[in-house]
Structure formats: structure tokens, C-alpha cells
Structure 1
Amino acid sequence: MTEYKRKENIFLILLALFPISSLSFIHNLPQVLGHASLSESRRGLLPPIYADRDQNVPKSSPDLVVPDTFVLSGMAEDPVAEELSNANMLAIILGVATDEEVNSLVWKCLGYRQPSQQTATGEGVVSWTNSKCFPKWRERFPEPPDLVGVTRIYSKEVDGPVLKANQALVRTIPMAHKQSIRTHLRPIGFNGFKLDELTPNKTRRAQCANWMIYYREELWGVSIEELVKRKEQDVERENLAIREAGESIKVAKAGVLPRDSYRMGDQKDGASDKP
């Protein structure tokens, strides 16, 4: 029996024995049951509750230390180093972070922001902005999409849009960065999951973490204008190499993010999967 389940059973027994009014600790119920408030867990002050999370440690990494916290700062702010750390990526893969927190951190990296606004009545109104998003991604996803599948329902009707959004994210990773998890997390003891350990949720978490490591290494803190400039320079260099090799095909100047082997005709109907 987990510690959380034990505390929950104690609480139910107390409810059966005493009237609600006599339980002076009721206002501290989240603390009694071991919950951190959402704001506290997002700041990384306390670990969010995740039942039996040690079961997510892969068989190939029996001595892997599971992170105790997941760092997520305010959604109106730009990503910070602690949010993009290897420990935070490991917390995503091993289930320390909730599905909602995984989505939120990827959204921040993609450029979505959630500033709080005050109405005339003083009530907080939350809306998403996308002005900082990568242009191609913003065209396709003006609102932040679910990239993990928070419902855990995998029917085509419910999960179809989630799958497409996750696949679109993965396609923006250049070939040179497809193995970012192996490159950056293996040195700290994570050796990956075996095939029989994988679930759709674990797979998507890993894909999100892989993308964020790529983002951290190549895109974080770089302006859209600079990314466009880099893309044009990459295209010019690749076209030069192609001409020197005696080939006539030209590299397309589509999208903002670099992508290996991205050439005319690779995309159907001229669409680009670049953010």
C-alpha cells in the first residue's frame, strides 16, 4: 500500500467516526493527504503526487534516481533553465510531471503564453496568446494542442487530434537531434524503455522531452528573425554542396526551423511541418 493510499484510508475512517465539523484539519486536507497545491508543485517546491511512479523506472535502468520535483514557472513567462534541465526532462519521462504540466511546458517552448487579466469585477480571466509562437506552427495550431493525451482515451475520435499534434511536433526535430534523449540522459543513468514497457503516454512524454532538449540546444533564446537567417544560410550552404556534387535539385526555403534533407517535393500539397 502506498503512503498516499494509507493516508487516504485514515481520512475515510476519521470521516466515519467523527462529524465533519469536529475535524479541524479539514481546511488542510491537501496537506493531510500529501498533495501540494498546483502553484506549489509547478514552482517545483513540492513534488506532484503520482501514484506508484517508481513503476515507470525502466528495466534497463534499475539504479536510476527518480527526480522528486518537476519545475514549471508561470505560463506568462519565457522558459527558464531549470525547466529545461535534464532532471526536468527525466521527470517528464518517468511520470513525475502530470500530463497537464508536460503540455504546459511544451507550450511555453513553442511560444504560447497565458497572461492573467483582471476584469471589471476583479475576477481573473485567462486566455492564450500565440504571438511568440513559431510562425508555421502558429498557422496550424493557433490554440495550444494537447500533445500527450490527458484523457488517456485512445479512440480515433478523441485521440486523433492529439496524435496528429504530437506527430507534427516530432517532425520539426532535425535528424541530427532525433536521439537527444540518448545523448543527454544516458550519461545520468537513463537507458530507455524496452518495447514491452511502452505505452502511448510514455511514448508521447519521451517525444515531448526529446523535442524540448532539441529546443534547449538549438532554439532557446534565439529570435525568430535569427532563426530565419540561420535557415537561409543553411539552405545556401546545402545548395552549394549539392551543386558541387553535380546535382541539380535545390533545397526548399520553407519553414523556420532547420530540418535535415528537407527538399522540394518532400511535403504533400506544399505544406510545411515546421513550427
Structure 2
Amino acid sequence: MSNLPPLNTETIWAILNDQIDNSVVHQLVWHYLGYRYDSATGKWDNQLVQAEWRDEYPEPPNFLESRPATMKLTRSIPKENKQILKEKLGFKGYKIGEFTPRETRRATAANWLLSHLQITQSKIE
């Protein structure tokens, strides 16, 4: 997972525009939630994961296939960042009838990642 793209707006747009593979989207979210894969043991290390995630998901969930995990991800976005894709990137969303649950879940992952980026940058400033 050391070859992840940087967490920036270009990466967020690439997720929204389906230019990044699902596995990379997962790895990004897992990484920023705190999950680390230990290739020596072949197991996930979740010591950096907040208890609210670690208790329910000792191993990282598949956000693009699991509605409950995606809902938890959505709920974990602070209220002030719920519309961050629209406010910061001008993302208009997908057209009604032309999007799939997969695209909606990718947008949720992108929203969570952009929110995480915003929170992280605010702490630095």
C-alpha cells in the first residue's frame, strides 16, 4: 500500500471520475482510517484505527460492496463537511437514473477522504 496516490483534490476527482481502481479507493480509505497491512504476518494491524471502527471492523471493510460500512463512513463525516464535494470542488453529483450504487459509494469515499484532508489541513494551520 505504499504506492497510494497522494491525498489531494486531483485524487478525489480521479475517484469521482472513475479513473482510480476500486482497490485503490479502498486502500486510501483504509489507510486514512488507520488500517495497516503487515505483509510479514499476512494480517491487518488495526492499532491506529479508532475504537468505533476497530470494534465493528477488526479488518477493513469493503466499502463499495457493503452498504452498512458505507453508511458508517457517511455518518462519520462531520456535519459541516457533508457537502464538501460540492462546496470545495464544485461537484454537481451524478445525473438521476445514470448512476449506480457503486458510483454513490465511490462518492461517499471521496467525500470522506476530502473531509479527512480538510480536517488534517485545519489542524496543521
TM-score (norm 1): 0.42
Counterparts of 1:126 and 1:136, CA distance in 2: 24
The aligned residue for residue 58 of structure 2 is 142
Match of 1:191 among 80, 92, 98: 92
2:116 equivalent to 1:212? no
Counterparts of 2:59 and 2:122, CA distance in 1: 22
Counterparts of 1:129 and 1:100, CA distance in 2: 18
Counterparts of 1:83 and 1:115, CA distance in 2: 21
Counterparts of 2:100 and 2:78, CA distance in 1: 24
The aligned residue for residue 165 of structure 1 is 69
RMSD, aligned α-carbons: 2.1
Counterparts of 2:121 and 2:33, CA distance in 1: 10
How far off its partner does 1:220 sit? Answer: 6.8
How far off its partner does 1:221 sit? Answer: 9.8
Secondary structure of the residue that 1:132 maps to in structure 2? coil
Q: For residues 207 and 175 of structure 1, do their structure 2 counterparts lie closer, same or farther at Cα, with a shift above 3 Å needed? A: same
Q: For residues 194 and 204 of structure 1, do their structure 2 counterparts lie closer, same or farther at Cα, with a shift above 3 Å needed? A: same
Counterparts of 1:134 and 1:169, CA distance in 2: 13
Match for 1:176: what amino acid?
Answer: E
2:47 equivalent to 1:131? yes
The aligned residue for residue 116 of structure 1 is 39
What are the equivalent positions in structure 2 for 1:33-112 lying under 5 Å apart? 43=3, 72=4, 83-112=6-35
Q: Which runs of 4+ in 1 moved over 6 A?
A: none
**Unpaired segments of 5 or more residues in structure 2?**
none
Match for 1:89: what amino acid?
Answer: I
Question: Can you list the C-alpha shifts for 1:51-78, whole angstroms capped at 9, x where unaligned?
Answer: xxxxxxxxxxxxxxxxxxxxx1xxxxxx
How far off its partner does 1:185 sit? Answer: 1.5
Match for 2:77: what amino acid?
Answer: I
Match of 1:174 among 69, 78, 83: 78
Q: For residues 221 and 182 of structure 1, do their structure 2 counterparts lie closer, same or farther at Cα, with a shift above 3 Å needed? A: closer
Counterparts of 2:120 and 2:110, CA distance in 1: 14
Larger Rg: 1
Q: For residues 221 and 100 of structure 1, do their structure 2 counterparts lie closer, same or farther at Cα, with a shift above 3 Å needed? A: farther
* Bigger RCO (CA 8 Å, 6+ sep): 2
How far off its partner does 1:218 sit? Answer: 1.2
Matched residues, number: 123
TM-score (norm 2): 0.88
**Unpaired segments of 5 or more residues in structure 1?**
1-38, 44-71, 73-81, 118-124, 150-161, 223-275
Question: Can you list the C-alpha shifts for 1:234-255, whole angstroms capped at 9, x where unaligned?
Answer: xxxxxxxxxxxxxxxxxxxxxx
Counterparts of 2:22 and 2:76, CA distance in 1: 21
Match for 2:93: what amino acid?
Answer: G
Identity %: 34
